[in-house]
Amino acid sequence: MLAGDEGLTEAAKDLNHDDSWTVAGRTFKSRLIIGTGKYRDYAQNAAAAEAAGVEIVTVAVRRVNLSDPSQPRLTDYVDPKRYTYLPNTAGCFTAEDALRTLRLAREAGGWSLVKLEVLSDQKTLYPDMIETLEATKVLVKEGFDVMVYCTDDPVFARRLEDAGACAIMPLGAPIGSGLGIQNPVNIRLIVEAARVPVLVDAGVGTASEAAIAMELGCDGVLMNTAIAEAKDPIRMARAMKHAVLAGRDAYLAGRMGRKRYADPSSPLAGLI
Amino acid sequence: MIIYLNGEEHQIEAGTSLTTLVSGLVADPRGVAIERNRIIVMKSQWDQTILADGDQLEFVQFVGGG
């Protein structure tokens, strides 16, 4: 029995138990992953991670600031012992750059779970799937566990999975756009076909959109800007936590059928 | 002699090891990864890596990002 189970019916206890997901042999309870960019400072970032209840945060690999060693360091605020750091290749436009970045990330962190993204151009930041697929193959061969940012193309998603990706991460909309899930049909097709976790990565702008991703059956959602650029990032972080939980529960519960006309909720018999 | 560190020219004594260079520049080298002429030098190799004139070094670490 879990803490908080006292006095609950069996059905309610079931709901209280974890609904975890596993990627590359690592199990997580939270289905929300947040980035660590664009926040006012690392302290705000840490507070958002706390409010969002996340266990994984994405991080970037960049040059050490040697001219000003007093600059705050991410690790002093977002504790790598508490949070799983997921190194990301944001800003890489070729497979070669992404490989170089992730090899350095593995040396810096000492772990092999990484997120690959290879972008095509600055204006759309749309994934370059040819480069992404090539980089995935090399990384898998080198022993990395690769979560892959990709287009919402079900064919490429399958190709990535065949290449050994440990998670498929289609965009909901362009990075930082906040446009929401633009192609729910494709996301659903990817979810139905995948044998590895599927997480919507990028495009979510507000809580309802995170819930939609989860209602489509995704295993999780990754976001950065939606929280970091909210007027109150901490509150939005909490909203996203609730949205992901609500969306997941709604997916598991199974929504009602859509009808063309009304169907009264109160009995018609006994009307006065 | 001159090396290039994170893209900037840097003057060092001949015979300087990577460990010596790091300790003079980085207070806490945990979480720092180093590339020398595009090849990663693992932490266990820093001691025995003696820098050469014209070496291109990259010191990187995790920072906030999406």
Give the nearest chain B residue to A39 (CA atoms): B64
- Supply the pLDDT for residue B28: 85
B6-50 residue pLDDT tens:
999 999 999 999 999 999 898 888 899 999 999 999 999 999 999
For residue B6, give the nearest of A63, A80, A225 by CB distance.
Answer: A63
Q: What CA dihedral angle connects B24, B28, B34 and B40, to 10 degrees?
A: 130
- Supply the pLDDT for residue A251: 96
- Whether ipTM tops 0.85, in short, is yes
Question: Which of A18-22, A56-60, A148-152, B58-62 shows the lowest mean pLDDT across its residues?
Answer: A18-22
Is the CB of residue A81 less than 8 Å away from at least one CB of chain B? no
Helix segments in chain A, DSSP class H = 10-16, 42-52, 74-77, 95-109, 129-141, 154-162, 184-193, 207-215, 225-228, 233-253
Q: Mean pLDDT score of chain A, rounded to an integer?
A: 93
CA distance A26 to A23: 5
Residues on chain B bordering chain A, Cβ-to-Cβ distance under 8 angstroms: 5-8, 25-27, 31-35, 38, 40, 42-43, 58-66
CA distance A161 to A158: 5
3-state SS assignment for residue B9: strand
Q: How far is B11 from chain A (nearest CA, A)?
A: 14
- Supply the pLDDT for residue A194: 97
Share of chain A above pLDDT 90, in %: 85
A116-149 residue pLDDT tens:
999 999 999 999 999 999 999 999 999 999 999 9
- Supply the pLDDT for residue A119: 96
Q: Do A109 and B62 touch (CB under 8 A)?
A: yes
DSSP β-ladder status, B56-64 and A56-63:
antiparallel
Q: Do A36 and B64 touch (CB under 8 A)?
A: yes
**8 Å CB contact between A88 and B64:** no
Is the CB of residue A64 less than 8 Å away from at least one CB of chain B? yes
Amino acid at A151: T
For residue B64, give the nearest of A39, A80, A175 by CB distance.
Answer: A39
A1-46 residue pLDDT tens:
555 667 776 666 666 566 899 999 999 999 999 999 999 999 999 9
- Supply the pLDDT for residue A66: 87
- Supply the pLDDT for residue A11: 65
More confident of the two residues A19 and A187: A187
Q: Do B62 and A175 touch (CB under 8 A)?
A: no
Q: Do B26 and A69 touch (CB under 8 A)?
A: yes
Residues of chain A with Cβ-Cβ distance to B61 below 8 Å are 61-62, 64, 73, 108
- Supply the pLDDT for residue A6: 72
Residues of A with a catalytic annotation lie at 115
Residues of chain A with Cβ-Cβ distance to B7 below 8 Å are 63
For residue B6, give the nearest of A66, A80, A175 by CB distance.
Answer: A66
> What pTM does this model have?
0.91
- Supply the pLDDT for residue B66: 79
Is the CB of residue A68 less than 8 Å away from at least one CB of chain B? no
- Supply the pLDDT for residue B57: 96
Q: Do A37 and B31 touch (CB under 8 A)?
A: no
> Six-digit token pair at A271?
């009307």
- Supply the pLDDT for residue A226: 97
- Supply the pLDDT for residue A130: 96
Please, which pLDDT band fits residue A223 given cuts at 50, 70 and 90?
very high
Amino acid at A147: M
